[in-house]
Amino acid sequence: MRTTVGIVGAGPAGLLLARLLHNAGIDSVVLESRDRAYVEQRQRAGILEQGTVDVLRAAGAGERMDREGLRHDGIELRFDGRRHRVDFPALTGGRSVTVYAQTEVCKDLIALQLEEGGPLLFGAEALAVEDAGTDRPRVRFRYEGREDVLDCDYVVGCDGFWGVARQAVPAGLSRVFERTYPFGWLGVLADVPPSHDELVYARHERGFALLSMRSPEVSRLYLQVPQGATAEEWEDEAIWDELERRLETRDDWRLRRGPITSKSVTPMRSHVHEPMRYGRLFLAGDAAHIVPPTGAKGLNLAVGDVVTLARALTHEKETGSAALLDAYSETCLRRVWQAERFSYDMTTLLHSDPGASPFDGRIQLARLERIAGTRAAETDLAEGYTGFPLDEAVRRHGPADGAAPAGAEGAVRAAKGRAGHPGRRRA
Ligand code: FAD
Ligand code: DHB
């Protein structure tokens, strides 16, 4: 089999890249080791930055998101029994975020790809990326019990943290920057209307808690749990009791309980692999970097990577210049490290570290007081949460030869030029 761009992995990064390339007239093949149902049902992210919403809409994948996504103009910080709302549009010149689950983004992109795009093979497991340092990179994979080879001009590793693509970068060229945290998140879905109309991030001596949602009828909730904890050791009632304690306020706010329909534990880590390119292999999304989930940056970073890459590949196709491909790793890493910093700040601001001293606890409260009490600190949080503009990196590191912006960046600009945000805010 042969294609221009071989994409390993059909998570949000691989699926969106395939769509952007299709729109730019560049053919691709997507290999995904799991089946379609698994990819469509894997519970993960829920918050889309404004830039991600703009990109999905411009890529023609925003119709259902615009109907069903919930626009959120703020979050609530809870600490010491107090509540502080951070007003995003007021602090950022009008930016907001949208609650629309990763499962739904993937369903929309899969349907479009199968209808209009190039091959998307489920149950196709990449075994190795070979010859990435040459002009003829290839992916060896297993499909329907047989081994096969996908010959490509370029290979993109969108295969997440546990994928194989990253292993094709020679060890001597790789640098890994990593931090693990001594806790994880227990995440649950519950058939009960959210107990607040915006997300609530709570700092408590017993540990962090997050109240989020999937729809006006379904709540998504998270609890900090010790490293190594399993979902099975948490009874449903114990989860609600713990959420109630950590989310408690001094006023009459109450947590609504309902049937829990799924629970799982996620470990927390920060991880960056540099560089994000080796020869004709490009890494995008979780294959290149992981953030702890506090602050909801992972999916949005993956989108930033593939927008940058689609634009670079389009530029190469239209002008013959590899300047943007050459700048890919550096361009992405600038944004990646800002998101790493933000996610680290949010994590250490809100979680209770088992090794922390009473002094550390007071410092956390002082940091929260500062955010609640000064516009500069609050603005910094609001800017980080709503996301750094996707085309900022492109503006600063645009085509060295002065060529007109093309492909995905053009698409983002077009989306930005349209009026208003059709998403709805919950009453
Ligand atoms: P993935 O989604 O991991 O996709 C990789 C794909 O590659 C998978 O489908 C996998 O099956 C496939 N694959 C792996 N190996 C192979 C192989 N050898 N051959 C073929 N295919 C392969 N991010 C946010 O932005 N906002 C949030 O609110 C948020 N909340 C989160 C909450 C939780 C509990 C978790 C765990 C994560 C959260 N994230 C959030 C992070 C976000 O889910 C990830 O960053 C995002 O899924 C990254 O997308 P990706 O396409 O790079 O990787
Ligand atoms: C969700 C996940 C996050 O990591 C976060 O910071 C906010 C919301 C969610 O899954 O809804």
Q: Which two tokens stand for residue 5?
A: 């761009």
- Cα of 3 vs centre of ligand 1, distance in Å, is 24
pTM of the model: 0.92
Domain holding 10, by residue range, is 2-72+100-180+269-351+393-417
The amino acid at residue 123 is G
- Cα of 17 vs centre of ligand 1, distance in Å, is 14
Mutate to test the pocket of ligand 2, among 210, 297, 299 (most ligand atoms within 8 A of CB): 210
Task: Indicate the number of domains in the chain.
Answer: 1
pLDDT at 43: 82
Q: Is residue 219 part of a domain?
A: no
Using the CB atoms, write b or e for 291-326: b if 16+ within 10 Å. Answer: bbbbbbbbbbbbbbbbbbbbbbbbbbeeeeeebbbe
39 lines ligand 1 (CB under 6 A): yes
* Alpha-carbon gap, residue 21 to 17, rounded angstroms: 6
Name the burial class of residue 68, with classes exposed (0-12), middle (13-18) and buried (19+) by CB atoms within 10 angstroms of its CB.
middle
Please name the helix (run of DSSP H) or strand (run of DSSP E) that holds residue 272, with its range, or none: strand 260-274
Residue carrying structure tokens 């009960």:
192
Residue 209: C-alpha distances to residues 83, 162, 270, 350, 365 (Å): 14, 27, 20, 9, 16
299 lines ligand 1 (CB under 6 A): yes
8 lines ligand 1 (CB under 6 A): yes
Q: Which two tokens stand for residue 182?
A: 């001594």
pLDDT at 391: 63
The amino acid at residue 125 is E
58 lines ligand 1 (CB under 6 A): no
Q: Is residue 412 part of a domain?
A: yes
Q: Is residue 80 part of a domain?
A: no
Handedness of CA 417, 419, 422, 426 (dihedral sign): positive
Nearest residue by C-alpha to atom 30 in ligand 1: 45
Q: Is residue 160 part of a domain?
A: yes
Using the CB atoms, write b or e for 211-228: b if 16+ within 10 Å. Answer: bbbbbeebbbbbbbbeee
* Alpha-carbon gap, residue 195 to 179, rounded angstroms: 33
* Alpha-carbon gap, residue 300 to 198, rounded angstroms: 19
Please name the helix (run of DSSP H) or strand (run of DSSP E) that holds residue 262, with its range, or none: strand 260-274
In this structure, are residues 209 and 202 in contact, taking their beta carbons and an 8 Å threshold? yes
**CATH code of the domain in which 307 resides:** 3.50.50.60
Q: Is residue 232 part of a domain?
A: no
157 lines ligand 1 (CB under 6 A): no
- Helices within 24-166 (DSSP H only): 36-41, 50-58, 63-68, 88-92, 102-116
pLDDT at 392: 52
Report the catalytic residues.
72, 201, 293, 297, 385
CA nearest 337: which of 401, 391, 291?
Answer: 291
In this structure, are residues 406 and 177 in contact, taking their beta carbons and an 8 Å threshold? no
Q: Given the CA of residue 164, which atom of ligand 1 is nearest to it?
A: 18
Mutate to test the pocket of ligand 2, among 222, 290, 349 (most ligand atoms within 8 A of CB): 222
158 lines ligand 1 (CB under 6 A): yes
Q: Is residue 379 part of a domain?
A: no
List per-block mean pLDDT (blocks of 10 residues) for the chain, which spans 427 residues. Answer: 98 98 98 97 90 96 96 97 97 96 97 96 98 97 97 98 97 97 97 97 97 95 96 97 97 96 96 98 98 96 98 97 97 96 97 95 97 98 90 44 38 35 34
Ligand closest to CA 75: 2
In this structure, are residues 368 and 79 in contact, taking their beta carbons and an 8 Å threshold? yes
pLDDT at 410: 45
Q: Is residue 169 part of a domain?
A: yes
Cα 258 to chain centroid distance, Å, stands at 28
Q: How far apart are the first and last CA of the chain?
A: 52
* Alpha-carbon gap, residue 218 to 240, rounded angstroms: 15
Q: Is residue 89 part of a domain?
A: no
Residue 261: C-alpha distances to residues 189, 264, 362, 406 (Å): 6, 11, 37, 44
pLDDT at 388: 77
